[in-house]
């Protein structure tokens, strides 16, 4: 099998994307341009440092001895008439004086002359000048048309050859844009992919079949014709496909679903056929289609009944996949994060036989992903990637890679040699909650924001059972909000209990309750909180059956516009039931709002202390919230990080004190502590 693969792997240039510019073509361009310039300057009289003479002046110069024997050439030219000649050469410069040493004045200058040479002067001139033989008619025609031929050749290499080499000629719109990846170029393997062991195991079966098909055929097994990788964005679907290309010793074609879409009708279907034709020629091989939802959406969907061009492309894809037999050895691997919009005919057995789900990584998966990406980052010895993985639930592989990169950028801002835990902590807050914005606020707005965020933090600290402690509270604007109360779950949230959902709604209404208690008025700052708690309450009533309406799902007909069925159905419940649903949602939110008022009134002193701390320090950690709630004051120090400005002489003593404080306060919360992110009240 390997002997058959070697000649196939020598043809990536025919199927892959060629270079934008060929050096050989550039060399040809230079030769053509040089030839044109040479022809121009080779003409008699070309250049600026020469003398133009008449035939009589030429004869007189010969008589005066200004032209030495052998310094000129006379060439007959029939276009000048009978006895017509073109003469060119060197003559003594009339301005030259041997007694004056002026280097700027040459001794001889170029001259040219053309016209009819009289018979009486012919012998005199020929005795000094060299007579060139008469050119043939073919030579004259060739010399006349040579510049035009060179220009035509230049245009040919500039346009025609380049378009053909790029596979984008005038008649090549239907050619596939699939690129062949080689093992030397794409060195990713399964070792470089972490956090999706089950997906790697399923995909590795495809690689094993291509390497040793008899292993499966011996017992009558048939490898799936197509493998569809499904998962949220950033989970590593495309990365896993590249790893397959690195592991498989067969040709690997990669193409995006959007590459089938073109402005010309029928191009998409033609490219599908050409892609599969390339696969047949290089079988056994793997064809990877990224973002297949761009071409494989459900037929007949959308306003107006669908898109004919896209449906033609999909039909061609369905026919080609179904037309394969088991001996062709062409396996299709596709990736998408929208499997719900794919056509059902595409997912049936015989086409995409197997669906591989690549979900968000769990704790162990996140740790393995961090270990892979941390190889390129200079981390300090105090960095514990296991704690980082524990404090980043819900992060995808791309998010974790971005976390380490942002941590490196933050460490560089502070002029560090290695990334520390507090750098990763700040990077996580930036990714999860947005970047800090130094927005100018007056004292009234800062006070409202401080009490608003203190209300959220205080209620969460009271009602939390330890699974979602307060991580940080700040009145520095982040993202679109004027302040933020950050919570950091201690584990991956796989289920939502009714009690925790009610606590979540109560915490969400804490900001509005604090404004009402302290200010005696309410503001629009709680708009985002209101939308969040209303959505949570609606899910509790309509989707999760957490009210006395019973375990009934309401609103199943709430279809999505991208499925093309928006407005096609109606609610599957009566108006009376709709009123009951609205009443239950209102009761849940109102009950938790009154509960938040009672909690804040009971802990009013702690609320004031927390708000004053926010006004003074702008940001406090979760451990400070617990200290204020239990002791009425903050006992742990607050460490502020300031961006180091380029100064000539930085204060080394202050930097040492800050670093010592950071080491002593390792367990205050967030990524820098032993616990994540703060000690549980329990």
CB atoms within 10 A of CB 594: 12
Helix (H, G, I), strand (E, B) or coil at 95: coil
**Residues in CB range of 92: below 8 A, 6 or more apart:** 65, 66, 67, 68, 107, 108
- Could you tell me the strand order of the sheet in which 72-76 lies? 50-53, 108-116, 84-92, 72-76, 130-131
Which two structure tokens, joined as six digits, stand for 519? Answer: 């200010």
**What is the per-residue burial (b if ≥16 Cβ within 10 Å, else e) of 260-283?**
bbbeeeebbbbbbbbbbebbeebb
Query: Which residues are known to be catalytic?
Result: 453
The rounded distance, in Å, linking the Cα atoms of 72 and 87 is 7
The rounded distance, in Å, linking the Cα atoms of 68 and 587 is 117
- Could you tell me the strand order of the sheet in which 226-230 lies? 179-181, 252-256, 285-290, 330-336, 226-230, 354-357
- Residue 392 and residue 406 in contact, taking contact as beta carbons nearer than 8 Å: no
Is it true that the peptide bond before 284 is cis, omega within 30 degrees of 0? yes
The rounded distance, in Å, linking the Cα atoms of 128 and 627 is 113
Instruction: Report in angstroms the alpha-carbon separations of 628 from 485, 633, 664.
Output: 16, 4, 21
Find the Cα–Cα–Cα–Cα dihedral 26, 31, 33, 34, rounded to 10°.
140
Strand runs labelled E in 237-380: 252-256, 285-290, 330-336, 354-357
**Residues in CB range of 374: below 8 A, 6 or more apart:** 385, 404
The rounded distance, in Å, linking the Cα atoms of 204 and 206 is 5
- What are the φ/ψ torsions at residue 110 (nearest 5 degrees)? -75, 145
Which two structure tokens, joined as six digits, stand for 241? Answer: 């496909």
- Residue 316 and residue 359 in contact, taking contact as beta carbons nearer than 8 Å: no
Query: Within 13 Å, how many C-alpha atoms sit on residue 654's CB side?
Result: 8
Which two structure tokens, joined as six digits, stand for 74? Answer: 């006379």
Q: Strand pairing of 108-116 and 50-53?
A: parallel
Q: Strand pairing of 354-357 and 179-181?
A: unpaired
Return the ∠ at Cα 9 (arms to 7 and 11), rounded to 5°: 85
Instruction: Report in angstroms the alpha-carbon separations of 6 from 9, 11, 169.
Output: 5, 9, 29
DSSP state string for 383-408: --HHHHHHT-TT--HHHHHHHHHHHH
User: Which has the closest alpha carbon to 202: 354, 367, 409, 46?
Assistant: 354
The rounded distance, in Å, linking the Cα atoms of 367 and 403 is 13
User: Torsion-angle region of residue 394: left (phi > 0), alpha (psi -120 to 50) or beta?
Assistant: left
């Amino acid at each position: 099998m390997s002997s058959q693969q070697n000649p196939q792997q020598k043809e990536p240039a025919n199927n892959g994307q060629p270079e934008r510019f060929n050096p050989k073509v550039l060399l040809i361009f230079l030769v053509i341009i040089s030839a044109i310039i040479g022809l121009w300057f080779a003409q008699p009289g070309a250049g600026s440092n020469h003398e133009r003479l008449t035939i009589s002046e030429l004869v007189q110069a010969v008589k005066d001895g200004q032209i030495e024997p052998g310094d000129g050439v006379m060439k007959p030219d029939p276009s000048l008439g009978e006895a017509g000649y073109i003469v060119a050469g060197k003559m003594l410069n009339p301005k030259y004086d041997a007694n004056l040493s002026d280097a700027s004045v040459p001794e001889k200058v170029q001259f040219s002359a053309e016209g009819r040479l009289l018979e009486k002067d012919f012998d005199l001139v020929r005795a000094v000048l060299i007579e060139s033989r008469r050119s043939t008619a073919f030579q004259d025609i060739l010399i006349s048309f040579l510049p035009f031929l060179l220009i035509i050749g230049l245009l040919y290499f500039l346009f025609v050859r380049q378009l053909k080499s790029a596979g984008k000629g005038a008649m090549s719109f239907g050619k596939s844009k699939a690129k062949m990846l080689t093992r030397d170029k794409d060195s990713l393997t399964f070792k470089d992919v972490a956090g999706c062991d089950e997906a790697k195991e399923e995909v590795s079966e495809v690689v094993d079949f291509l390497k040793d098909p008899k292993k499966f055929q011996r017992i009558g097994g048939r490898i799936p014709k197509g493998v569809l990788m499904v998962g949220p964005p950033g989970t590593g679907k495309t990365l896993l496909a590249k790893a397959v290309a690195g592991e498989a010793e067969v040709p690997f074609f990669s193409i995006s679903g959007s590459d089938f879409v073109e402005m010309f009708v029928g191009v998409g279907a033609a490219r599908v056929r050409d892609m599969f034709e390339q696969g047949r020629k290089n079988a056994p091989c793997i064809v990877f289609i990224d973002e297949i939802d761009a071409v494989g959406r459900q037929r007949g969907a959308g306003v107006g009944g669908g898109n004919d061009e896209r449906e033609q492309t999909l039909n061609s894809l369905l026919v080609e996949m179904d037309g394969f037999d088991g001996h062709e050895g062409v396996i299709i691997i596709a990736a998408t994060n929208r499997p719900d919009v794919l056509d059902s005919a595409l997912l049936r057995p015989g086409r995409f036989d197997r669906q591989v789900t690549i979900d968000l990584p769990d704790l162990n998966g996140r740790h393995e992903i961090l270990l892979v990406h941390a190889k390129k980052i200079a981390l300090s010895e105090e960095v514990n990637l296991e704690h980082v993985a524990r404090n980043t639930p819900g992060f995808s592989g791309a998010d974790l890679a971005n976390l380490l990169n942002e941590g490196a950028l933050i460490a560089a801002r502070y002029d560090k040699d290695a990334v520390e835990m507090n750098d990763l902590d700040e990077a996580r807050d930036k990714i999860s909650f947005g970047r800090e914005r130094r927005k100018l606020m007056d004292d009234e707005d800062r006070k409202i924001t401080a009490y608003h965020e203190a209300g959220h933090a205080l209620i969460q600290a009271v009602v939390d059972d330890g699974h979602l402690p307060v991580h940080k509270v700040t009145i520095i604007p982040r993202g679109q909000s004027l302040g933020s109360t950050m919570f950091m779950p201690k584990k991956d949230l796989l289920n939502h209990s009714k009690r925790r959902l009610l606590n979540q709604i109560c915490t969400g209404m804490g900001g509005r309750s604090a404004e009402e208690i302290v200010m005696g008025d309410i503001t629009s700052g709680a708009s985002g909180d209101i939308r969040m708690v209303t959505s949570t309450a609606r899910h509790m009533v309509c989707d999760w059956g957490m009210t006395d309406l019973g375990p009934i799902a309401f609103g199943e007909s709430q279809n999505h516009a991208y499925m093309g069925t928006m407005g096609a159905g109606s609610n599957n419940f009566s108006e009376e039931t709709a009123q009951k649903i609205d009443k239950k949602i209102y009761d849940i939110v109102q009950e938790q709002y009154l509960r938040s008022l009672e909690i804040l009134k009971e802990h009013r002193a702690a609320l004031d202390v927390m708000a004053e701390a926010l006004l003074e320090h702008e940001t406090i950690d979760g451990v400070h919230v617990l200290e204020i709630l239990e002791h009425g004051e903050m006992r742990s120090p607050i460490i502020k990080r300031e961006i180091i400005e380029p100064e000539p002489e930085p204060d080394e003593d202050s930097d040492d004190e800050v670093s010592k404080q950071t080491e002593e306060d390792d367990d205050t919360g967030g990524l820098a502590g032993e616990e994540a992110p703060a000690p549980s009240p329990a």
